[in-house]
Chains A and B, each alone.
Chain A
Amino acid sequence: MNSTNESATAQAPRRRTIDIVNRGLKRRYRAERRFRFYGLAAIVLSLAFLALLFVSIVAKGYSAFWQTHIRLAVFFDPEAIRQDTLVNADYAALVRESLLKKFPQAEGRQDRRQLAALVSSGAVYQLRDMVLKDPELIGKTVEAWLPADDDVDMLIKGHFRRDLPESERRVSDKQIAWIERLEAEGRLERKFNTVFLSAGDSREPELAGIWGAVSGSFFTLVITLSLSFPIGVAAAVYLEEFAKKNRWTDLIEVNINNLAAVPSIVFGLLGLAVFLNFFGLPRSAPLVGGLVLTLMTLPTIIIASRSALKSVPPSIREAALGVGASKMQMVVHHVLPLALPGMLTGTIIGMARALGESAPLLMIGMVAFIVDIPKGVSDPATVLPVQIYLWSDSPERAFVERTSAAIMVLLAFLVVMNAGAILLRKKFERRW
């Protein structure tokens, strides 16, 4: 543009317009550069947000996959454990005794309590399981790695500052001295946190795990998938292949588009009023969660399935009808198999959305504190995002890292699902 302007200047007698243009050019180019910069800045800013989100969560959460353990010489006192009470014996006393043996200078009730607080209350179950597995242990002294209390864990991981005045931290000076001695003797070690991946919820951070929530999510998604996929595909097939264009199908279409944009919490209200109060289905059950999420994901699946059906060229349909197939045969034998990859992709994306959804599940009571791992679709359960919500409300510092770790697990599931959807699309996508 510029060069044509200049050549025009050379010939034309009228110089006024071009003067105006030239005078403005600098400013206009500056505006151009500024505008371009804004655009780039917007992209950089949104990517920076994304990076910040991931970095802050990983930085907070990665340490939760390790848990501090304390090695103690535990004497399985035959006095404390009698054969008839193996299950109910006072294992806490064993832990206390072995700690006292280690630190005989701890005297007075306060000191002893602080000493006992170094070890997690979950150590009791670990010792019990050891004895139940091998009753021969009774009467022997065994070196055992016991989980440390969450406060000790936080201190070791550096989340508590040791230089604060004693009144401002959760770990007292004495406890720090003990911990430092244990550290010096190599009796403190960070081990891979299997509890976090295998246990249900707990009030004690070091005993809390995500397995209960993961199973709850699994059962909920099984219900959602087994209802929403067939129903969604059927609805899409009807609307795309069979339905005539009339008022009724228009109404259905408007409804589907609107439902896709209705806030998810409204589906929760529906679930509460209809499934729980009207039909009397159990509270907190994955069954009801699955039903609610089915209604929520149906529009997504229907819309995706319809576009998959639309992308199958009409020539396929005409060929099938031409050799004498009925309309249903044409759809079932020819169109559906060709549209299936697209439908599956849409379904996986819908399932990923359902997996991350928590608001409607709060309404139907899936926020209860549930320790047991659900065994079926009618057991009380919670789901992974709701577990994250519950933990994020907990005051203990150790739950912050566990919340972040649970988020990492959730995001990992979502990445896998979305990658699966992309792979599926890449592998089966056909351009006609």
Chain B
Amino acid sequence: MPVTIDIHTHPDFFEAVNSDLDQLEYHRQALGLYHATIAPLQHVFNQMNCAGIDRLVLLPLDLTTIDGRPVVSNEEMVKITALAPERFIGFASVDPHRPDAVEALEHAFADLHLAGLKLHPSRQKFYPTDSELTPIYECCLRFNKPILFHAGISLEPDTNSKYARPEGFEEVAIRYPGLRFCLAHFGWPWVTETAALLLKYPNIYTDTGLLYFDSAREFYDHVFKTELGEHWIDRSLRHQVMFGSNNPRFEQIRMIDALRHIGWRESTLELVLGMNALEFLG
């Protein structure tokens, strides 16, 4: 049975990082998930089992120069992944505006053994081509770690999508052909732009964490069969699209069910649901 991986989940409401109501409220406001409740570990496992997901990639976010704190820190990621190392894959995050950003990232990779880097240009307020990102990209190359960028519009507060248009990442792909990076959410609403980049640059990946309108089946049908050509993913982009739910904002169980019924070849589905994530993670 091929492995099934959700490449895009947020641990912000896990019990392990919400020891008091202040933390919970900060997480709610920071993510704009105003009614989210604390998730016991068993509940996370129940959701995974119900959706048929083997492993979650968990994404923190460092907002040191924006909010004066991370939403979930790299040290907390170590604590969370230790709860279920066979099921959780922890990423790091650094605020690129931190003077010690590179040192923090080296520490996250070398000492904390985190599996990749999450960056959110819209929330952390940088363009992918800003010069302060250069040493961060080089650090990822040095450690052979992938980057998952938020791309497209963000529903989080205090975000501007001008930083995260898919076209803004092309220069990074040109400069660093060996750097694997993911434009999350298929860069929605600029999904055609994302598809064009995937076609040209094999080091760019994307994920399926988009459910901005309608039910999962309706929205995926619209995006993957109307906005994009019905066969584009199944024929041309099948090695670069990864299942990601953006849980808890969207709906992990219904989204993966919708993908299982979308009509791609079984081999494409296996790639999207897990095999591509393994390649991406390295």
Same complex origin of A and B: no
